[in-house]
Amino acid sequence: MPDHPLDLHDLRADCTRCFGLCCVALPFSASADFAVDKEAGKPCSHLRTDSRCGIHTELRQRGFTGCTVYDCFGAGQQVSQVTFGGQDWRSGTPERARRMFDVFPVVRQLHELLWYLTEALTLPAARPVHADLRLLLRETERFTRQSPEELGELDVGAHRQQVNELLLRTSELVRAATRGRKKDRRGADLMGARLKGADLRGANLRGAYLIAADLTGADLRGADLIGADLRDADLTDADLTGAFFLTQPQLNSARGSGSTRLPETVARPVHWTAQL
């Protein structure tokens, strides 16, 4: 196992190497995010035989915003190409297909943990815990290479708790090194909050509900955003440089602009520029 952390690019979805698992394994209900109901294990009606989405360029217009904010962190290609050795769920027995669909959410959780651990190892302020982070990174990688049967028996919740404890320590170290007031808003209900221009440097926003919050021009440098709900939050002109544990799905669910400053770990959502 290599001593250096994974490249975050290794933990991005590659739909060309996946058998459309998120479009089959996961359920969704008719809502603001999805136009129709779909049961777990049932292929979406828009999934083509080549495992690509038939309305990919029109998802938002057709009522499937939920699909545009989802990311498997590379779990789709891992399960398709590694766990099941390139065997399509369509070509095997119903039992094998069911096992693929059961394993996919487990590997997705493991890959999300890999994302956080990998990012934590890039943070200089977290150097005191880098050795422990590497150990957990290796263990998590090992889990992702297990057989379908072993993955089915894995207590991913317990492993997630172990990782979270170390990520909490990482957060404390990084935020302590950030200039600012370091507000503790962990798990806070900030839905629709008026935070325009707010100084949130080094803030603890873990699990905070920021749905539809006005964060225009807010300073979020060095803030911990793990698990923060940013659905429809307005990040126009906000500064998120140095913000950490921010994932692409979180950002995709928010609103922003070409002037929103972002950390290097995420990309500017296409729909932000499309709205200009």
pLDDT recorded at residue 6: 61
Q: Mean pLDDT, the chain, as a whole number?
A: 93
Integer-rounded Cα Rg, in Å, for the chain is: 19
How high is the pLDDT of residue 77?
96
Residue range 175-184: average pLDDT? 85
How many CB atoms are closer than 10 A to CB 219? 21
Express each pLDDT in 106-164 by its tens digit.
Answer: 999 999 999 999 999 999 999 999 999 999 999 999 999 999 999 999 999 999 999 99
Report d(CA 47, CA 44) in Å as an integer.
Answer: 5
CA–CA distance, 262 with 274 (Å, rounded to integer): 17
Phi, psi of 204, deg, nearest 5: -95, 105
What structural domains and CATH numbers belong to the chain?
8-175 (no CATH), 180-276 (2.160.20.80)
User: Which residues partner with 253 through β-bridges?
Assistant: none
Render pLDDT for 50-82 as a digit per residue (tens, 0 to 9). Answer: 999 999 999 989 999 999 999 999 999 999 999
